[in-house]
Amino acid sequence: MVSAGLGVWKLLRGIRQLELHRLILALIIFCLLSMAFLAYYVSNSPKIKEAPPLPFSDCGGGGVMSVGDSTGGTGGGPGGQRAPLFLPPRQGRLRQVKAVDNSRTEPVVLVFVESIYSQLGQEIVAILESSRFRYRTEIAPGKGDMPTLTERNRGRYALVIYENVLKYVNLDAWNRDLLDKYCAEYGVGVIGFFKANENSLLSAQLKGFPLFLHSHLGLRDYRINPSASLLYVTRPNQVEQGPLPGDDWTIFQSNHSTYEPVLLASTKSSEALAHLGPSSLRALHATVVQDLGLHDGIQRVLFGNNLNYWLHKLVFVDAIAYLTGKRLCLSLERHILVDVDDIFVGKEGTRMKMLDVEALLNTQNKLRTLVPNFTFNLGFSGKFYHTGTDEEDRGDDMLLRHRNDFWWFPHMWSHMQPHLFHNVSVLAEQMRLNMLFAQEHGIPTDMGYAVAPHHSGVYPVHSQLYEAWKSVWGIKVTSTEEYPHLRPARYRRGFIHSGIQVLPRQTCGLFTHTIFYNEYPGGSKELDKSIRGGELFLTVLLNPISIFMTHLSNYGNDRLGLYTFESLVKFVQCWTNLRLQTLPPVQLAEKYFQIFPEERDPIWQNPCHDKRHKDIWSKEKTCDRLPKFLVIGPQKTGTTALHSFLSLHPAITSSFPSPVTFEEIQFFSGLNYDNGIDWYMDFFPFPSNVSTDFMFEKSANYFDTEVAPKRAAALLPRAKILAVLINPADRAYSWYQHQRAHQDPAALNNSFHAVVTAGPSVPRDLLALQRRCLKPGAYATHLENWLQHYQPSQLHIVDGTLLRSNPALVMEGIQRFLGITPIFNYTQALTYDDSKGFWCQRMEGGRAKCLGKSKGRKYPEMSPESRSFLAEHYREHNMELLHLLNRLGQPLPSWLRHELQSTSWS
């Protein structure tokens, strides 16, 4: 009985333990499910939104400051401080200051940097490049030679900039005197920077100048001198309140009337300048000064720090303009266009609602009071209309009710990337769906502007996109951030292709994921920093036309798009004299290419050298269809024979013949370049083996076409270059005979001697013939042009005389230069033809296959008087070629040695 009871008790205890385990397991499962549900709810539910940030409301700061009022008195506060008696009143001095006149100089800036890696040097160059100003950088010489400053009685530089002004003042006497005489004679100014380091003295006099420097200071409350004569873009009625970053500032002090303060600040600490006396404690001190040239006839602007602080960049731009007499200067007009991409596209919870649309309209109206004609430009993909929440769908409807208040432009119907469509008809059908949507909802369709999703197909060019855009929408203008590359942004440019104007597009720090102010990458201060003198502000400052890319999601949620552009416009108008306005895209494009006509022609680059470009390039295209080397000419030197010899090699493949220009494509030298790289690649087959197949093309007019080297290097930077040189006098005569054979009236009606000796007043057709006879023979000049874009190791000079007499030897050298193995035996492949007088292909049975009748043409010998004239004409050119080939380590052609010996003997 007892044992039975014990068994029952054990059974019940086991059951209770089993139930307890199950209960615990159930609780664990419940907790996990609850956590998963909570995580899903948090991640997918709209966030509880704080009030959107308010844009900057006013300029703030203190009042206008007058530099010449009094010494540092006891002004009523930061806004009422008085400047020190730094210099006499401006009005009396300006009568003595010469107006800047450096019209006898080239509009080029000479920049002396500490090293090619120095930060300040890179910032100086970045501003010059952004402004599209030409410049040359040199490592600042200590006791080295100064670069050549003049050429043919003209100055080579309109402005000199020293990254470290001490390198300027400490130049050796010879170079300093040379530079100062140049600046004084040609009206060239100097900009210099002084950035204190651990070795800098607290106080010192700038060598050779009545100017004292006080360094290692902490400053606050930056002010602009409204009387500073260099101010142009900078608006002088502002005080930047608060401490300036760092404690390494330098101030300038002088009693000489040549110095005028531009920027001034107070010291943070009352002890900082106590050694200068009690009057310095509350005074304003100059951190940027302008030397009016009253001391030595040279105008300068000196900065007591680098360009890290945004206000220095602004004044630096003004200093460049002033010291070059506004030759290096943009106008005060700035055109901005704000594109809002992806209308109707976006995930639930990120789209615009009715209140957001109302805010968009209100902000647009406010901005129109500040920026004439300001209008948000909305890009739409109709397929995604009404795909948000009910509240967001009502936002879609409100946008359409106010459709005439905005500008509109199409994306793709389904927001697909155009480069994925290889058929123009299919691509056009996608566009027609978007067009139909626009027509059904009353969206304007005549703006002539479109933007491809992800900029696909615009650059690198997808020709099907351009064709479909024109046929469906009548597109005249588009924009992209990808030409020539996304980064650095200062290199972005415009171009025109297939009748469509492509404008550079700028990012503004707002992307599809930047929708909350407090979650901005790096913190909200990063966005404000970009607006208040940072990247976004500099984009407007340095670009006369800016198209900004934003997204639908930037105008819902915290409405960062509205905050950003209202704040930016107000900040620009507070601190600058820039005149902001907006134009519709087609008018904007007309304005852009009026300002930058040199950008109309694009530069085609290799899409495979930029991962972003390769990602938005058709998968059906391959860079393997581009040549590995070029035969560049010049004409009438034997390039056709070289082309035929190269084509005999089993590893070498020539381009397909052109129906117009025969064996030459002439892509880099003329109008064919406008057809784009798809057209160019169609002249080449798909290689069977990329590593061992050598494709090439020969176009003999590449040699002396000025734009050809730049274009070729952009698309084929690793290509090797072959040039065939013969005696330039013989080349000129051969061209004359070539033109006679082609019935050129100028050649038929004039002797060769009359052609080459003709003066400038002869008929235009005769001058044109003379130019084509003589110009290509300036070999060194044209080779130097190619060497600006290619390394010397990529260039091979073919002795044209030796090619004619011993082609097998020449072809062996070319094969070694190209790196082709095994070496092909041309001795067995070629045979000399007595009737033609040159080498031909050896066929079966020993027969010769020669070039056509036009090659190897017999004509009379050149007259001795013409040869004598050309020998003298080309004497200096041949000497330059001698020096160039010696510098490159290339052997001298036999004809050049003979010509130099003959000239020397005579």
Under 8 Å between Cβ of 339 and 561: no
Q: What pLDDT is recorded for position 756? A: 98
Q: How far apart are CA 732 and CA 692, in angstroms?
A: 38
Q: What pLDDT is recorded for position 681? A: 96
Q: What pLDDT is recorded for position 237? A: 73
Contacts of 900 (CB under 8 A, 6+ apart): 878, 879, 882
Q: Pick from 758, 890, 753: which is nearest to 813 by CA? A: 890
Report pLDDT digits (tens) over 782-814. Answer: 999 999 999 999 999 999 999 999 999 999 999
Q: What pLDDT is recorded for position 66? A: 39
Q: What pLDDT is recorded for position 464? A: 96
Q: For residue 143, give the amino acid letter.
A: K
For the CA atoms of 346, 351, 354, 359, the dihedral, rounded to the nearest 10 degrees, stands at -120
Taking the alpha carbons at both ends of the chain, their separation in whole angstroms is 143
Long-range contacts of 194-203 (CB under 8 A, 24+ apart): 194/164, 194/165, 194/166, 194/250, 194/302, 194/303, 194/304, 194/305, 195/120, 195/164, 195/248, 195/250, 195/305, 195/306, 196/248, 196/249, 196/250, 197/248, 200/250, 203/275
Q: Which residues of the chain have pLDDT under 50?
A: 1, 8-9, 41-42, 45-48, 61-95, 906
Under 8 Å between Cβ of 789 and 621: no
Q: For residue 592, give the amino acid letter.
A: Y
Report pLDDT digits (tens) over 276-296. Answer: 555 555 589 999 999 999 999
Q: How far apart are CA 114 and CA 118, in angstroms?
A: 6
> DSSP 3-state assignment of 632?
coil
Under 8 Å between Cβ of 379 and 413: no
Inter-axis angle of helices 119-130 and 310-323, to 10 degrees?
60
Q: What pLDDT is recorded for position 648? A: 95
Q: How far apart are CA 81 and CA 284, in angstroms?
A: 7
Q: How far apart are CA 493 and CA 455, in angstroms?
A: 14
Long-range contacts of 170-179 (CB under 8 A, 24+ apart): 170/142, 170/207, 171/141, 171/142, 172/142, 172/143, 175/141, 175/143, 175/144, 175/145, 175/146, 178/146, 178/149, 179/146, 179/149
Name the region of 449 (left: φ>0; alpha: ψ -120 to 50; beta: rest). beta
Q: Pick from 609, 600, 613, 596: which is nearest to 482 by CA? A: 613
For residue 278, how many other CB atoms are within 10 A of its CB? Answer: 10
Secondary structure letter of residue 456 according to DSSP = T
Under 8 Å between Cβ of 351 and 398: no
Write a three-state SS string for 76-137. CCHHHCCCCCCCCCHHHHHCCCCCCCCCCECCEEEEEECCCCCHHHHHHHHHHHHCCCEEEE
Q: Which of 636, 710, 775, 836 is catalytic?
A: 636
Inter-axis angle of helices 535-542 and 310-323, to 10 degrees?
10
Residue 791's alpha-carbon distances to 381, 695, 704, in angstroms, are 48, 20, 18
Q: What pLDDT is recorded for position 851? A: 80
Q: Pick from 626, 678, 711: which is nearest to 465 by CA? A: 678
Q: How far apart are CA 675 and CA 316, in angstroms?
A: 42
Parallel, antiparallel, or unpaired: how do β-strands 795-799 and 285-291 relate?
Answer: unpaired
Task: Please indicate whether residue 476 is annotated as part of the active site.
Answer: no
Q: What pLDDT is recorded for position 270? A: 63
Partner residues linked to 546 by β-bridges: 336
Q: For residue 752, give the amino acid letter.
A: F
Under 8 Å between Cβ of 83 and 264: yes
Q: What pLDDT is recorded for position 65? A: 40
Q: What pLDDT is recorded for position 670? A: 92
